[in-house]
Structure 1
Amino acid sequence: MFTPMACFKEERKMYKFFEPKRLLIFTLVFSVGTNVFAKNLSLEQATILALKKSENIEQYALDIEMAKEQIEEAYASLYPQVSAEIQGIRHTKAPVLQFNGTSVPVRQDWELLSSLTLNQIVYSFGRVGSALKIAKLSNKVQIKAKQIAEREIRQAVEVAYYNAILAKSILDISEDSLSNARKNQKALQKRFQGGRVPRLDNLRMESEIAARKPSVSNATKNLKLAYLQLNLLTGLPINTNPVLTSHLGSSFKKLSESQLISKAKEAPQVELAQLSVDLASKQMEIEESYHYPTISAFGNASHSGTGDEMPPRDENLFTSVSVGLAINIPIYEGGAVVSRTRQKAIEKRRAEVAKQRVIEQTDVELLSNVQEYNTGLERLSAAKEAVRLSKQAYELTRTRYETGGVTRNDLNDSERSLTAARIEVESIKFGLLQNKSIIKRITEEVE
């Protein structure tokens, strides 16, 4: 018999049957989604993502578009300005002239006024030309500012990317150190395999293992933070752990200070400072031009008339044409033009001082990073040799410890030396790449 209760029981059976499968499907979907985000990520891909995500780059692109429109606006002042006007007037009471006591109407009920006017600046003593040059310079300023922002983003991404690689290397080294501590404990057991392991020695080995676990935890935390910083820059999901396919590198070349210093003069921040000086100079010139007259040509054509209807009849419409040359001569403005010119002169001087400061800061930043880089090359060579020797020393010490040739402290110290040497190599590599990233931001010449 089919009842609602029986139907409910059947639905419960079906639900219990499908519930584990629904969980399995959800798990599979979630796992696939996670794997999609855990993708390979090269340094170039990370840079492209960061440039697309950056609000600053988008803002500079809009500023460039605005500057282009300002250039078009400045060009408009070079061309004639043409305007037309048409008026239809209804005189409810026509105006009259009094003549010998008699009122003579001068207009009828309807009046039509139409005119075409043309104005053209002939010469303005550099005012129009300077305005156009200022607009073009403003466009160059925005382009150069966008270039600087792009280089800064590239540097930030490179440093974040290399920092994530460094954090992963430090985690691997910490895990290797923990594994070595466990191997040391096995060497202790092997040393006393014919008898009981001394309790003190066993406790010391246990403490060495326990002491390395916080280092692994701290390295794991640093790796997560490094991924977080990289994800924030590139716009990837926050919890993504991308597989970094670019590496810190193993070979580095010495850099030439003289060649790079010559390229520092072409650094975008230096060129931007020079553009600021040029812009201030043109602004001063345009203020000076207000001391001089403006010469312009004009023309006017009108077609007007009155009548009893709208439009008036052709015999009541008259056409007139006039042309002329106008000269606007500033005579006295209370010293306002002189004051504005002096203000622009001060701004130009400030731009020149700022340019000199930018040049000095750029040279110092470049030289210091080149010197740090070249010094780091020497340190890297010595650190790699230290790793090679420390690895050999540790393997030999552990072998000798098993036979009683060295003490427990000798074994642990040897392992710590190996771990410290490996971390030093990775840290020096990161420093070298950081120096190269800064040098590349300035000169765009380092590979």
Structure 2
Amino acid sequence: MKKWITSGMLLFMMAIQGLAQEKWSLEQCVTYAIKNNVSVKQADIQARIDRLTLEQSKLALYPTANSQHSGGYQFGRSIDPTSNQFTTNEILFANHSLNLNADLFNWFRKKNTVAANDYTYQASAARFEKARNDISLNVANGYLAALLSGEQIHVAEVQVQQSREQRDNVKKQVDAGALPELNLAEMETQLANDSSTLIGAKADFKLKLLQLQALLNLDAAVPFTIAAPPVESVPVLPLSELEPDVVYNSALQNLPQQRINELNVKAAQRNVLAAKAVLYPSLSFFGGLDTRYSNAQKLLPANFQPAAVPIGFVNVNGTNYVVNTQENIPTGFNKNTYFRQLSNNFSQNLGLALNIPIFNGGQARINWKKSKLNVTLQELQKEQDAQSLKQDIYQAHTNAVAAIEKFNASKIALASAQQAYDFARKRFEVGLLKPIDLITNQNNLFKTKINLLAAQYDYVFKMKLLEFYKGMGIQLHN
């Protein structure tokens, strides 16, 4: 057994290590998160619970049958369960019964309860789908944030390499006496700052990966990295195909939250009908079988013979005369066995039961009123979510437009910053520019590159968010 357990653990660790050695794509991250994220699992379990509730309400439509069996020992003054007479004997007894009950008419209470539970289950299934969509969107957001952080590392590495080359060139000129030592100190400071920025970028990338692992419910101790597709290759729809009205109408049809609200309203309406049915009389059929045993009745008469049995006397002229009656007196007995008693005591019953609610503390009527208010509550929730959805989509469209404009402006700013840096470097190399001025232009170029990357990733995510609202999911490739 220990060998099997050890082998299983080794295979599991090998599988985890093999999975960790490859770079995770967005699709792999989303698939893993859907299978392992706690929120998604909770939504799945709730859907299963609601499905079982639906199954139980369907089974409640059928008649009920129950069999009861009891046995015991009684002593002191009690009633013999077979003769129904008082006795002080110690008695060993047993009772057996089978009861059947079937609703004939209850104003469709059970039928409406089944329908309400069916809508509730469908809403839970849609809620599970929503949890999958939410985690997919969150993973995509975390994935793009990690990609941006990774790109910032590359930019910082280029910056460090440029600063190192410039520091080396200045050092040579200082050693040759062509430049003062102040210039070298300034370049050393710039290199140190750029190295610090690179260290911070690497730390931020690790943090983004840890945050993504948390979304996946993946152990933080497991080595983890992601594939880095060029952001330029990520397909996005033209903004003209993502007009807010079009996206909103599509979202009403495709997003699970809207189906959840619609199903919750239908379930609440059915619950009103089920609650109202409790206010009216109901008719049911019942039937039963019953038998019992008692060891107090151990013998049964088997043979009889006629005999005169005195029942009193009369006085005639002072003389008492006995009055007799003719009766059959048992002369032989059989044992009253367990199964014989069950047969002799066997009884049956059939009947109809009419239940008329008169006063029960107002519970049924209050529940009916509550159920009607719950319909209004669900309708308001549906309206509120629709308003919020429309607001979110219009806001997302506005943000996408701003992100596109910012991205285009950042591209122009990068071209200008690159040109300024190139001119400054050429002037610095011929001694026409101070190191501090070169450093300033270099820092401006670095910030512009970072701003462009951030604007580009922000633009991609804003567009992907609109595509998500439209029901297209999250994809980073064609």
TM superposition score normalised by structure 2: 0.73
1:153-187 CA distance string (max 9 Å, x none): 21222222222211111122122112222333455
Mapping for residues 3-402 of structure 1, pairs under 5 Å = 37-85=20-68, 95=83, 116-186=98-168, 188=170, 195-239=177-221, 242-247=224-229, 249-250=231-232, 252-255=236-239, 256-257=242-243, 258-266=245-253, 267-300=255-288, 307=300, 308-311=335-338, 317=344, 322-402=349-429
1:268 and 1:442 in contact (8 A); partners too? no
Question: What RMSD, in angstroms, separates the aligned Cα atoms of the two structures?
Answer: 3.6
**C-alpha displacement of 1:80:** 1.6
Equivalent position SS for 1:79: coil
- Please tell me whether the aligned partners of residues 124 and 260 of structure 2 are also in contact (alpha carbons under 8 angstroms): no
Shift of 1:113: 6.9
> How far did residue 144 of structure 1 move?
1.9
Structure that is richer in helix per residue: 1
Distance verdict in 2 for CA 1:387–1:325, change over 3 Å:
same
Equivalents in 2 of 1:361, 1:268: separation in Å?
Answer: 14
Post-superposition shift, 1:92?
6.5
3-state SS of paired residue (2:283): strand
Cα distance in 1 for partners of 2:466, 2:280 equals 49
Change (3 A) 1:248 1:358: farther
1:41 aligned counterpart, secondary structure: coil
Aligned to 2:8: none
Instruction: Summarize deviations over 1:390-429 as a string: whole Å, max 9, x none.
Output: 3344234312322245454543333223212211121112
Q: Deviations over 1:90-117 (max 9, x none)?
A: 98797478xxxxx9x9xxx999976543
2:327 aligned residue? none
Deviations 1:247-268 (A, max 9, x none): 2521543331232111221322
> Which moved further from structure 2: 336-345 or 299-308?
299-308
For the pair shown, the structure with the greater C-alpha radius of gyration is 2
Tell which deviates more after alignment, 332-341 or 366-375: 332-341
**Relative to 1, partners in 2 of residues 1:183 and 1:300: Cα closer, same or farther, differing over 3 Å?**
same
Of 49-58 and 219-228, more deviation after overlay is shown by 49-58
Give the direction of change, closer, same or farther, for the CA distance of 1:167–1:218 in structure 2 (3 Å limit): same
Instruction: Give the match's secondary structure for 1:117.
Output: strand
State the number of aligned residues.
406
Where does structure 2 lack aligned partners over 5 or more consecutive residues?
1-15, 74-78, 301-334
Q: How has the CA–CA distance of structure 1 residues 316 and 124 changed in structure 2, closer, same or farther, with 3 Å as cutoff?
A: closer
Q: What amino acid does structure 2 have at the position aligned with 1:75? A: K
The two structures have a TM-score, normalised by structure 1, of 0.78
Kindly state the Cα deviation for residue 222 of structure 1 after the two structures are TM-superposed: 0.8
Q: Identify unmatched segments of 5+ residues in structure 1.
A: 1-32, 98-102
Say whether the 8 Å CA contact 1:227–1:240 is kept in structure 2.
no
Larger fraction in strand:
2
When residues 259 and 119 of structure 1 are mapped into structure 2, their CA distance, relative to the original with a 3 A threshold, is same
How far the C-alpha of 1:332 sits from its partner, in A, is: 2.9
